[in-house]
Homo-oligomer: A and B are copies of this chain.
Amino acid sequence: MLSATDNHKPESLVANANSSYFPIINNQIHLLRPQSGSGGSYTKGLSCLSWRFGVESNNVIGWKTIPVTCEDYIGHYMLGSQYRKDSKVITNEAILYAKSINLSKNGKDVWIFDIDETTLSNLPHYAQHGFGYVEPFNATSFNTWVGTGKAPALPESVKLYRELVSLGVKVVFLTGRTEDQRTVTETNLKRAGYHTWDKLLLKGKEFSGKTAVAYKSAQRKKVEEEYGYRIIGNKGDQWSDLLGTNTGLRTFKLPDPMYYIS
């Protein structure tokens, strides 16, 4: 059974992409530390399912931590079957869509993938940090985890990736990870089953301080206008992956109740 402290072998996880590799780990939940943040501006009597609906529909925005009363709920959601079921519904829609469109056959059709919580899963990290954090996002701790290069794939995204490659669609990874994380990210992607791609776009210093919406829009604009691609699809876990300009012909929002990036 996978636990947050296992030494992950992403290859074998990916080989079992159709099985549930994030089993329900009830014994992990009680290890989580209590949350101090509010995650939106009211918590009294809050339905955590409603909060999650609010987040995923882009109604609840700008939050720094998950609601204190929803820590157990989010933990169970992320480690249990519902997160994977939700990811499957989205990914099945994406695959059906990709198969349905007229590809240009000129090698210029691309699909944009975000990386964290889209292509790769940082659940082993977040499971040790309270699924949404005791405190707002801690970059040092997260970057240490990224540096291990051991993030497993989100199996649904590997499935979509393989379908796209077999359809002849090019893949572009567009991530908020920074340029200094290029090598470890490349290694991690390959270990997780993503063996080839056209571009891996990381955040350079020129985008420092810019929002994800601004940074990702600028990069997608470059993909379309400078590189001459047509973005047929765009998959991410944050609305900031999917809003702005040059968003692609269709976007797909994966669930992520753990953190919010504007």
Residues of A whose CB lies within 8 Å of any CB of B are 40-42, 46-47, 49-51, 53-54, 56-60, 82, 85-86, 88-90, 92-93, 96, 251-253, 255
Contacts and interface: CB of A to CB of B under 8 A. Distances in A.
A85 B60 CA distance: 14
Given A59-B93, A92-B42, A253-B59, A85 B54 contact: no
Contact of A89 (B46, B85, B86, B93): B46
B42 A85 contact: no
A252 B59 CA distance: 6
Nearest to A96: B41
A90 B179 CA distance: 38
Residue of A53, A59, A92 with highest tally of chain B CB at under 10 A: A59
Contacts of A252: 59
Nearest to A87: B50
Given A47-B85, A253-B59, A54 B90 contact: yes
Contacts of A42: 92, 96
A125 B93 CA distance: 30
Residue among A56, A57, A90, A255 with the highest chain B CB neighbour number at 10 A = A57
Contacts of A90: 54, 57, 59
A51 B96 contact: no
Contacts of A92: 41-42
Contacts of A60: 89, 93
Contacts of A56: 53, 56-57
A168 B96 CA distance: 47
Q: Most B CB atoms within 10 A — which of A51, A89, A90, A93?
A: A89
B253 A47 contact: no
Nearest to A242: B58
A141 B89 CA distance: 32
A239 B40 CA distance: 22
Contacts of A40: 89, 93
A128 B255 CA distance: 33
A180 to B, nearest CB: 33
A232 to B, nearest CB: 15
13 contacts: A47-B82, A49-B82, A49-B86, A50-B85, A53-B53, A53-B56, A53-B255, A57-B57, A57-B90, A58-B251, A59-B89, A59-B252, A59-B253
Contacts of A50: 82, 85-86, 88-89
A213 to B, nearest CB: 14
